[in-house]
Structure 1
Amino acid sequence: MTGGAAIDPGSVDRVWRDLTSAASLAEAGPVSIEGKDEPNAWVSFTMSKYSVHATTGLLATLRSTDELAGVLAHEISHIKLGHYNETVKRNLLWGLLYMALGERKIGGFDVVGTGVVLAEAGFSREQEIAADDYGVALAAKAGYDPWGLYNALQGMAKS
């Protein structure tokens, strides 16, 4: 689609609309741009809408709207595949368990606290791979280069 410099916020909105339309994601809120140097993107849910947050560091790293589409499609995949809801439920369960049981040590090891930390660690490797696969197909369906995610990851690894 485009190549070269950092992605501008107007392109983010256009790519987001293309992808949410292709994904039939009716509960899509806006993309929020966070002023952070670290290249990152993540999903949130507020006011009955799913939103994606992207950092200015990510936008500075990406070289094309195809790469942006790959990253945003990956995040949409976590929503469409139910990963986000599973993670929220898991975190809630561990939080309630921790509140109910408090610190429980076995051999000096805080079992419940460690479970909370692991639950908050995000998506599993299997979920990330599934989101990659779904995201590549979604980006292509929306008219973007399916290699966008791969190229974005390569660019982030070099930065």
Structure 2
Amino acid sequence: MKRGGKIRIFIGLAIVLFALYQYYSSATTNEFTGEKQYVDLTTEEEIALGLQAKPSMMQQHGGLLQDIEAQALVDQVGARLIQSSIASDTDYNWEFHLLADSQTINAFALPGGQCFITAAMYNQLENVDQLAGVMGHEIGHVIARHSAERLEQQKLSQGLVTGASVAVEGGGQMAAAVTQMVNMKYGREDELQSDDLGVKMMMDAGFDPYEMVGVMEILKAAGGPNRTPEFQSTHPDPDNRIEKIKESIRKYQ
């Protein structure tokens, strides 16, 4: 092997080792879920990130829906879930937003407590318990610090891909493919954990947790017969989520 090739391998290996060191030195325990995580952000930084991203996300979905009664119901359900759950012990800046987007059936959360639901999703819901299921799921993402975890994993992935690209010609593409599959798996696990947390919050707040099954049926119908296979998706198949939700209900009864 030529000297230049050895130097490339050495530099690439150094980049990979540094990325691994940064990632594993960020190990912490989530005080609300008891889960070991790799997160480098403070609560204040998560809140700041969420507030910074909020205007852009609102703009992407047509701004806020101008429906005072519907927004009040979203706020009321969100507050009830927070007040009766472990979320009340957090320092997050909880806000709930009903977006004007009437085409995209979706709900999501930003780090630090910014939770969103689109009008398209809201209008599909059959009752307030289903709304609680959607919002409880999103609150679960925030409590479990999933966005902060994803940011740390992205930093690790970028370091591994960069190191592989430097060390081996074509190595970056292979590393990118592997890390994409790993990150999709993490994404599915996050969704299932948020479902579980959402069920617990619904029950603690006096909502019917079985209505979250109805939410999954809505998502299943929205996906249509040609929805992406689970192994290629960041979200678990709705049928699998329904079984896990039923398991969570039995666990917390």
Report TM bin, short chain.
0.7 to 0.9
Helix, strand or coil: the match of 2:113? Answer: strand
Aligned residues: 148
Q: Which amino acid is the alignment partner of residue 62 of structure 1?
A: L
| Contact 2:74–2:98 (8 Å) recurs in 1 | no
Unaligned runs of 5+ in 2: 1-68, 223-253
Point out the structure with max Rg over C-alpha.
2
Which structure carries more relative contact order (alpha carbon 8 Å, separation 6+)?
1
Inter-partner Cα distance in structure 2 for 1:60 and 1:80:
26
C-alpha distance 59-129 of structure 1, shift in aligned 2 (>3 A) = same
Does residue 78 of structure 1 match 2:141? yes
Query: What is the distance in 2 between the residues matched to 1:96 and 1:53?
Result: 32
Deviations 1:50-91 (CA, angstroms, capped at 9, x unpaired) = 211211211111111100111111121122233332112112
- 2:91 aligned with 1:29, yes or no? no
More helix by share: 2
Aligned residue type for 2:97 = S
Structure 1: give runs of 5+ residues left out of the alignment. 1-6
Indicate the residue corresponding to 2:154 in structure 1. Answer: 91
Structure 2 CA distance, aligned partners of 1:154 and 1:131? 17
Where do residues 50-65 of structure 1 align in structure 2 (5 Å cutoff)?
50-65=113-128
Sequence identity of aligned pairs in percent?
23
Name the structure with the higher strand share: 1
Structure 1 pair 116–27 and aligned structure 2 pair: CA distance change class (3 A): same
Asked whether the 8 Å contact 1:94–1:116 carries over to 2, the reply is yes
Calculate the TM-score normalised by the size of structure 1. Answer: 0.75
CA RMSD of aligned residues (A): 2.8
8 Å CA contact retained: 1:33, 1:54: yes
TM-score by length of 2: 0.50
